Amino acid sequence: MEIADRILKGDRRAVARLISMVEDSDPLAVEALGILHPHTGKAHIIGITGPPGAGKSTLVDRLVKSYLLLNKRIGIIAVDPSSPFTGGAILGDRIRMSDLNTEPNVFIRSMGTRGHLGGLSRATGDAVKILDAFGMDKIIIETVGAGQSEVEIASHAHTTILVEMPGLGDDIQTIKAGIMEIGDIFVINKADRQGADRTEMELRAMLELSDAGEWTPPILRTIASNSDGIVALRDGIESHLVYLKSSGKLDILNHQRTREEFLSILGGEISKIILDKVMDGSKLDALVARILKREIDPYKAACDCIREFSENR
Ligand SMILES: Nc1nc2c(ncn2[C@@H]2O[C@H](COP(=O)(O)OP(=O)(O)O)[C@@H](O)[C@H]2O)c(=O)[nH]1
Ligand SMILES: [Mg+2]
């Protein structure tokens, strides 16, 4: 049976296999994703990001257990853009080793940079689609850190949760610089530690600086290791989803993302067609060398390729 059909019939191994295929940019995955496409678009996609050690994986573990009580099916993708060798294994360990691993309603996957960084975000997006078609109600993407790649990965989510912990100081600065604006919900985890008040004050001050939309991001406190505050977090996530739906924001988000995805696929396909026609590998390398030597600029080089293609059609 086709791998896509196996996924639609509930075969977990087929899910794992197809995610590996998208990670490896296997061309056979494209066809399977095409078969799955009509079955996607139902899941609520939740991103969780923040500095290492803030308790993201512990939060995910507790949150998922709380969803299981509501009979939800949950997909978890732990993404570590900084780990080319472990494939995100370290990041996912805490969740993978927990008792969630044997839950029939949970699917856990770790991903790292197997190829180049740009590929990770696309592979993550494809993994989300696969889990969506597999029938997951919620798909949680855990990423570490606050860099550009995390922001890109977070862009797959409908609801993004930024996790902080007391006493990080400089890390709040990092959040301010980079990703404050992507947060729909802020969590101060390890609220059992000293300094939660101060962290909350700092977050509040920064939130006031960013322009307030219709949604005011709540700042919640949790002690993930004791499951404290998990239900409030789950409620906060649901409120955000309700807001997205009632405001029409969900449709807008989905439209924008689908548009970007389509344009990026179109760009890739067009360049493949053009390169096939006018350029082999050595010609490409020679052209790159000329760009490097400043004999030609990359925009002009691209226009020349397109011209050569249309003249030789
Ligand atoms: N004191 C305290 N420790 C916590 C809390 N939540 C998680 N931890 C611990 O913090 C460490 C890092 O947690 P982890 O979930 O792996 O963080 P991640 O790197 O953000 O995924 C682990 O030892 C957890 O047991 C909490 O609320 N309070
Ligand atoms: Mg983690």
98 lines ligand 1 (CB under 6 A): no
Confirm if 133 and 29 have CB atoms less than 8 A apart.
no
224 lines ligand 1 (CB under 6 A): yes
218 and 290 in a single domain? The answer is no
Can you tell me the distance from the alpha carbon of 67 to that of 74, in angstroms, rounded to the nearest whole number?
8
299 and 168 in a single domain? The answer is no
- The rounded Å distance from CA 59 to ligand 2 centre is 9
275 and 197 in a single domain? The answer is no
* pLDDT value, residue 217: 94
Indicate whether 252 belongs to any domain. Answer: no
Closest-lying ligand 1 atom to the alpha carbon of residue 223: 27
pLDDT digits (tens, 9 = 90+) for 105-154: 999 998 876 655 557 788 999 999 999 999 999 999 998 765 666 777 77
Q: Mean pLDDT, the chain, as a whole number?
A: 87
18 and 139 in a single domain? The answer is yes
53 lines ligand 1 (CB under 6 A): yes
38 and 158 in a single domain? The answer is yes
Q: Indicate which ligand has the atom closest to the C-alpha of 162.
A: 1
55 and 184 in a single domain? The answer is yes
CA-derived radius of gyration, the chain:
22
243 and 263 in a single domain? The answer is no
pLDDT at 84 over 60: no
Residue 1's pLDDT band, with cuts at 50, 70 and 90, is confident
Count of structural domains, the chain: 2
* pLDDT value, residue 120: 79
189 lines ligand 1 (CB under 6 A): yes
Domain residue limits at 79 = 3-247
234 lines ligand 1 (CB under 6 A): no
223 and 265 in a single domain? The answer is no
Burial of 63 from C-beta contacts in 10 A (0-12 / 13-18 / 19+): buried
Closest-lying ligand 1 atom to the alpha carbon of residue 58: 15
Q: Which of 50, 59, 46, 51 is nearest to 222 (CA)?
A: 59
pLDDT digits (tens, 9 = 90+) for 35-57: 999 999 999 999 998 888 889 99
9 and 149 in a single domain? The answer is yes
* pLDDT value, residue 149: 67
176 lines ligand 1 (CB under 6 A): no
pLDDT digits (tens, 9 = 90+) for 238-256: 999 999 999 999 999 999 9
* pLDDT value, residue 205: 85
Q: Is the dihedral of CA 275, 281, 286, 291 positive or negative?
A: positive
Q: Indicate which ligand has the atom closest to the C-alpha of 52.
A: 1
* pLDDT value, residue 86: 47
Domain boundary among 194, 216, 247: 247
- The rounded Å distance from CA 221 to ligand 1 centre is 14
Residue 169's pLDDT band, with cuts at 50, 70 and 90, is low
pLDDT digits (tens, 9 = 90+) for 174-228: 555 567 778 999 999 999 999 999 889 988 888 887 766 789 999 999 999 999 9
189 and 283 in a single domain? The answer is no
Cα dist from 149 to 143, 154, 165, 253, 262, whole Å: 9, 8, 22, 19, 20
In this predicted structure, which of 2-16, 59-73, 260-274 has the lowest mean pLDDT? Answer: 260-274
CATH number at residue 55: 3.40.50.300
Indicate whether 253 belongs to any domain. Answer: no
Q: What is the pTM of this model?
A: 0.89
Query: Can you tell me the mean pLDDT for 75-82?
Result: 84
pLDDT at 90 over 80: no
Closest-lying ligand 1 atom to the alpha carbon of residue 191: 27
* pLDDT value, residue 38: 97
Query: Can you tell me the mean pLDDT for 21-36?
Result: 93
Confirm if 253 and 215 have CB atoms less than 8 A apart.
no
- The rounded Å distance from CA 64 to ligand 2 centre is 14
Residue 25's pLDDT band, with cuts at 50, 70 and 90, is confident
106 and 22 in a single domain? The answer is yes
223 lines ligand 1 (CB under 6 A): yes
180 and 274 in a single domain? The answer is no
How many C-beta neighbours within 10 Å does residue 18 have? 26
Of the chain, the percentage scoring pLDDT greater than 70 comes to 86
- The rounded Å distance from CA 263 to ligand 1 centre is 40
Q: Indicate which ligand has the atom closest to the C-alpha of 49.
A: 1
Q: Nearest C-alpha to atom 24 of ligand 1 is from which residue? A: 55
